[in-house]
Structure 1
Amino acid sequence: MVLLVVAGCGQESPAPSPPAGHAGGHGHHAGAAMGHGHTSGVETVGDGRSASAGGYTLADVRFPGTPGEGTLSFLILNDHGQPHTRFQREQTKLMHVYVVRTDLADFDHIHPDMAADGTWTAPLTLERAGT
């Protein structure tokens, strides 16, 4: 599985408006139907379980161990290695997470919740075994 996290880290200022004509659908997609229309300039880096960009690091990613219902959790660390807890809303959510199988057979767009300690969690149902 590959995890792509889209978050507004940084100063507390109004988030930009979504592009004109944006229609946001969420859920499972497969194959070529994955086009979601986002063009926010997000660059995918790392192996989906750990990555650093712009002074922030995706860390401690935990996926469900087997197919079925489970929980995804992770941290976003700042450049001092501490959990980052100040985020800007993007399309009414603090965090957008995309979970994609490496063979592109399954795709999820979920919105986790952040605990006071900076841990993000969300229910995640894996349809089948694999990566």
Structure 2
Amino acid sequence: MNTGVKITVFAAALAATFGTAYGVGAGVGPVGAPAEPAHGGRHAAQAPAGSAGHGGHDQAAAQGPAAGGLQVSEGGYTLSLDTPQVAAGQGELRFSVKDAQGRKVTAYKTEHGKELHFIVASRDLTVYRHLHPVRAGDGTWSAPVDLPAPGAYKAFADFAPAAGGAKNVTLGADLSVPGAYAPNPMPPAARTADVDGYQVALGGTLEPGKAGELKLTVSKDGKPVTDLEPYLGAYGHLVALRAGDLAYLHVHPNEGGPGPDVSFTATAPSAGTYRLFLDFQHQGTVRTAAFTVTAGGGAEPVAEPAASPAAGAAVEESGEHSH
């Protein structure tokens, strides 16, 4: 059996009630300046040599390392958004990572083909963007982005500075799109997702404090896809966000490929609701399949995606892989 990449995130304190469908409230109203950043710990996704996980192993409480993406500043590094507020639709995000002296970082380790991985997600977890920003010589990063509607979002920067042998750091900062806003309900738990004519089936369970395999199987027109293409050096990338505080983790699959199965060994840090986002590439295009899963609280029912806007959110999530 292949050695897995272990998901080990845990938050020392939740920024909002854990297990809620979204972390910004259920009311309808305008969104203006971004909220103050939530605080927590760092993530750790530990992998053996030859696999593609991200590191970071500070211990916080007996359950394990703290969660990633809950802090805007950590380990002497700060995520600074030049554009903490953008208009709905097509726009551009600009940001930098600053060191303890306030200088923009210009040297990074290259991991999975990139110096820095950048994720944007809505607080209600129905919009997901995996961006690939470009760094200018002065350390300023920029990337085009399409955020479809007003609301509260969060940006995550996952990187390893070149200086001082630093391990991976994941920082998170609040981002907003002004306008009247009503959060969407959490998409229902389902074992299959349809994305641009592809079907992705999720097997396995996510249990708090217990390692288990999550296997995602890609098919098209009822036939298994056996020629998945490497994307950033892997046949699939998985990002998981915890409902309520958006604790972040970014891991890569167990050895194997090129399909139809992409598997991960995962341990949930706590009971609750999570959104899983699987990026996979086929015929030159990257697509994203999204799932809502529950860790703990009994067996999760197997359900087909409903014919509703919430269930169709995976289409929205699949469309943004900017380079």
Q: TM-score, normalised by structure 2?
A: 0.28
Q: Please state if 1:92 is matched with 2:113.
A: yes
What corresponds to 2:141 in structure 1?
Answer: 120
Alignment root-mean-square deviation, CA = 2.6
Deviation at 1:59, TM superposition (A): 1.0
Unaligned runs of 5+ in 2: 1-33, 36-48, 57-66, 153-323
Cα 1:90/1:122, change in 2 over 3 Å: same
What corresponds to 1:23 in structure 2?
Answer: none
Cα 1:66/1:72, change in 2 over 3 Å: same
Deviation at 1:89, TM superposition (A): 0.9
Q: Please state if 1:67 is matched with 2:92.
A: no
- Name the aligned partner's letter for residue 125 of structure 1: D
Deviation at 1:72, TM superposition (A): 0.7
What corresponds to 1:106 in structure 2?
Answer: 127
- SS state at 2:81 partner: strand
- Name the aligned partner's letter for residue 107 of structure 1: Y
- Name the aligned partner's letter for residue 91 of structure 2: G
Q: Please state if 1:45 is matched with 2:108.
A: no
Deviation at 1:94, TM superposition (A): 1.1
- SS state at 1:62 partner: coil
Cα 1:17/1:55, change in 2 over 3 Å: farther
Deviations 1:21-78 (A, max 9, x none): xxxxxxxxxxxxxxxxx664571123xxxx1111100113415622111101101001
Cα 1:61/1:18, change in 2 over 3 Å: farther
Alignment partners' CA distance in 2, 1:117 and 1:74: 11
What corresponds to 1:55 in structure 2?
Answer: 76
Q: Does the CA-based 8 Å contact 1:64-1:70 persist in structure 2?
A: no
- SS state at 2:130 partner: strand
Q: Does the CA-based 8 Å contact 1:76-1:118 persist in structure 2?
A: yes
Compare relative contact order (CA 8 Å, sep 6+) and give the higher one, 1 or 2: 1
Deviation at 1:84, TM superposition (A): 0.7
- Name the aligned partner's letter for residue 83 of structure 2: R
Poorly superposed stretches of 4+, deviation over 6 Å? none
Alignment partners' CA distance in 1, 2:148 and 2:51: 31
**Higher alpha-carbon Rg:** 2
What corresponds to 2:102 in structure 1?
Answer: 81
Instruction: Calculate percent identity across the aligned residue pairs.
Output: 32
Alignment partners' CA distance in 1, 2:51 and 2:112: 7
